[in-house]
Amino acid sequence: MNDRLEGKIVIATHNSGKLREMRELLAPHGIEAVSAGELGLSEPEETGDDFVTNALIKARAAAKGAGLPALADDSGLCVEALGGAPGVFSARWAGETKDFAAAMARVAQEMKASGSPSRRAHFVSALAVAWPDGAEQVFEGKVFGDLTFPTRGTRGFGYDPCFTPDGYTRTFGEMSAEEKHGIPADGAQALSHRARAFQMLAASLLAPADPS
């Protein structure tokens, strides 16, 4: 039986865009979140070939390193015409310099080379929670949509400017934080992959949100 998450936890990410979103998601639940970067924890190698495995690798390492419950996200963009790439390699396509303009240009170029007419893609987020005693849980969220080139928008992070979720005409890069990953007060499904995974996590592990 897992504990609920309360008090202080470590967010096992070194990605500032993700960290901002995860802090915003946790704030209404009374959680104090410190990041792996702030604690000086090193980044474990992501050796898994799926999102859940990599999320668990990061959460376990941070729980052990910090002696606190840890929350990790492993996520990425899966492009139908590319057989699901970049997938777990989404961060690596941006290279050492984290150049997402170059990563999105590579997606566009490889889609063209594939000859497929499909513009379909989805984002995946696996959120893993690990406790120092070895307990763990994982929640996975997805959002489907179309790829948009030329890219549009400067908000969000990573591949946001090239992804238009189903039912919308604007890319994630053109949306406010609230629109992309806000949690609807009426219990409806959130929009982003990470917010959808978080809704499942919150229902299972967190105290109810305080709307104030």
Rounded distance, CA 165 to CA 64, Å?
A: 37
Choose between 31 and 94: whose C-beta lies nearer to ligand ITT: 94
Rounded distance, CA 169 to CA 65, Å?
A: 43
DSSP 2-66: PPPP-SEEEE----HHHHHHHHHHHGGGT-EEEETTTTTPPPPP---SSHHHHHHHHHHHHHHHH
Tell whether residue 90 is a contact of ligand ITT (CB under 6 A): yes
Residue nearest to ligand ITT (CB): 158
Tokens 């990953």 sit on residue = 181
Least Cβ distance, residue 17 to ligand ITT (angstroms): 7
2 is in an annotated binding site: no
Instruction: List the interface residues with ligand ITT, window 101-140 (CB under 6 A).
Output: 123
Tell whether residue 74 is a contact of ligand ITT (CB under 6 A): yes
Q: Active site includes 133?
A: no
Q: What is the DSSP letter of 179?
A: H
Known catalytic residues are 74
Binding residues: 13-18, 45, 74-75, 157-160, 180, 193-194
- Residue numbers of the site for ligand ITT (CB under 6 A)? 13-15, 18, 43, 46, 58, 73-76, 90-91, 100, 123, 156-160, 172, 192, 194
